[in-house]
Structure 1
Amino acid sequence: MSKVNSWKDVLNFYSEIKQKHLPKKVLLLLEDIGQCQYTSMHASMGDGLYFDTSELVEDDSEASWDNTRPLELQYHIEQLLKPENYIDFNNLPKKLSYCDEDQSTLLQINAEPEKILDDVIQVKLVNSKTETQKFAACLNGYFTCDLNPFESFSLIQHLDQNYGLEYVGLGASLLFFIKTPKFDANKTTQLFNELSNFYQFNQTTHTQLEQHLSNHEYLILPYVESLEVFDLD
């Protein structure tokens, strides 16, 4: 998708593509896509996720490598779902601690997502059973101070299963979610108590993000150590 004019256009496009390609799932790559793909490549080679293609690749042609992609995806889904790799959201380490400036940036990003989107958004059609499992098509969380793939997956599952927030896609720093019909506005306070505890948000961020989700259909959350990469001025 190119020529992104508004975030609303992106969400409408997402909905249309979903209906058109059922039962496949749709994953959007939205911001700093080159860096996102680079760190995803490294993250997918981490502990518990490395998929050895050496015996599957017959030659070094692009077609031969492409044939391994579905197998790699299924392997990554299996690894994310393994009981020994499961991390309960409430047991996630509080490794992310954002300064006031980063928290202000996050509020700006949620208010005006258009400012941080790439000019061309990439779309992946994913053979997964659930919306959460499509995270396996672009695992991320490479640096030690970021959420690792299993931690990000825990967050994605928690928001989906407990709050009806569907994972839409990601960028090099952010995870994007939208409300589903299962979203219960009465649980918004509980949701942000949990998110503020996990992200260690200050009161202003807590209040404004909660207000944002009450008035909009989407929520954008970080999985990286810092948001200083974003220049929104």
Structure 2
Amino acid sequence: MVRNETTAKLVEVATFAELLGALDQLRAEYAPARLVCTLDDVNQCLYTSAHASEDERIAYYGDENPEAEVAHVASALENPEHGVEWQTLPGQRIGGGADVAALVTVNSTPDRWLDDVVLVRRASVARDDLVIAAVPNGYFTSDWDTFQNHAVIRRMAAHGYRHFGVGASLLGFDRQEGLSESGARAVVADLVHLYGAPDSASWVELATVLTGARLLLLGYTENLPDLVED
């Protein structure tokens, strides 16, 4: 593990179980600050995050100070002038049923999508939903942008999920206990609102995958089916 004042770099990370264990240790060390980490394709994640940070709603023009920049972005996320309501999120992704099938694949084999290098960033924010301020993302036109991602994060919190990671294509969530069967159905109902394709048979399969699981991975970019085809 390589560290500096605001980050830790985990190398040779093989599983989400390993990653989540390391995050628990780091949270104890950095408390009361919260943590967020990269997930899939760390270099692409950081590249798109840098561009997403140029969004005029969150752009930071102060002195080079990571903590001040995180505080600035978190403040913008809480600004009602910029906030996105869950009900206004798009109900149809470009991939349609292919996106749903990709969600099944990603959540069935989550470790496959985790980069072996993970960058952890500290976020001195008041709530877990605001940790995305340390790795804002959503750059391309058909991606969910940072504010839409924040709306998704808030909604998943209602299902007991804590947001802990952002990748080049994925948002990562965990919960203290495995999801119940009824809870999985409720999550899937919300995901239908996000991704559309309500008639896809893959939704039933996803509910089965999520039942009993603590981990949830969601794709926020336009190319989610491409991720699982590579």
TM range (shorter): 0.7 to 0.9
* Among 69, 72, 96, the residue aligned to 1:72: 69
**Residues 141-174 of structure 1, C-alpha deviation per residue, up to 9 Å, x if partnerless?**
01111101110001001111x2111101010000
- Structure 1 partner of 2:136: 139
Contact 1:96–1:200, Cα closer than 8 Å, also in 2: yes
Structure 1 residues 189 and 228: alpha-carbon distance in aligned structure 2, compared to 1, 3 A threshold? closer
Structure 1 counterpart SS, 2:139: coil
Is 1:107 the counterpart of 2:104? The answer is yes
Contact 1:98–1:200, Cα closer than 8 Å, also in 2: no
Contact 1:87–1:150, Cα closer than 8 Å, also in 2: yes
The whole-number CA distance in structure 2 between the counterparts of 1:192 and 1:229 is 22
Structure 2 counterpart SS, 1:209: helix
- Structure 2 partner of 1:24: 33
Deviates more, 1:117-126 or 1:196-205: 196-205
What is the identity, as a one-letter code, of the residue corresponding to 1:17?
A: L
Structure 1 residues 183 and 113: alpha-carbon distance in aligned structure 2, compared to 1, 3 A threshold? closer
* Among 141, 154, 162, the residue aligned to 1:166: 162
* Among 26, 38, 44, the residue aligned to 2:47: 38
Structure 1 residues 126 and 187: alpha-carbon distance in aligned structure 2, compared to 1, 3 A threshold? same
Contact 1:192–1:210, Cα closer than 8 Å, also in 2: yes
Deviates more, 1:105-114 or 1:32-41: 105-114
The 5 A counterparts of 1:163-202 are 163-180=159-176, 186-201=182-197, 202=199
- Structure 2 partner of 1:218: 215
Is 1:94 the counterpart of 2:102? The answer is no
What is the identity, as a one-letter code, of the residue corresponding to 1:124?
A: R
Using structure 1 for the length normalisation, give the TM-score: 0.86
The whole-number CA distance in structure 2 between the counterparts of 1:182 and 1:20 is 26
The whole-number CA distance in structure 2 between the counterparts of 1:153 and 1:182 is 23
Contact 2:128–2:162, Cα closer than 8 Å, also in 1: yes
Contact 2:37–2:165, Cα closer than 8 Å, also in 1: yes
Is 1:127 the counterpart of 2:136? The answer is no
**Residues 48-106 of structure 1, C-alpha deviation per residue, up to 9 Å, x if partnerless?**
111223xx3xxxxxxxx3xx222211111110000111211122123523244443332
Contact 2:179–2:213, Cα closer than 8 Å, also in 1: no
Is 1:83 the counterpart of 2:92? The answer is no
| Alignment: residue pair count | 220
- Aligned-residue sequence identity (percent) comes to 25
Contact 2:178–2:213, Cα closer than 8 Å, also in 1: no
Structure 1 residues 103 and 34: alpha-carbon distance in aligned structure 2, compared to 1, 3 A threshold? same
**Residues 186-210 of structure 1, C-alpha deviation per residue, up to 9 Å, x if partnerless?**
4432221121122114532211221
Structure 1 residues 88 and 101: alpha-carbon distance in aligned structure 2, compared to 1, 3 A threshold? closer
Gaps spanning 5+ residues in structure 2: where? 1-9
- Provide the alpha-carbon RMSD of the alignment: 2.1
Deviates more, 1:194-203 or 1:40-49: 194-203
Is 1:208 the counterpart of 2:205? The answer is yes
Contact 1:164–1:184, Cα closer than 8 Å, also in 2: no
Using structure 2 for the length normalisation, give the TM-score: 0.87
Aligned-residue offset at 1:42: 0.9
Deviates more, 1:91-100 or 1:7-16: 91-100
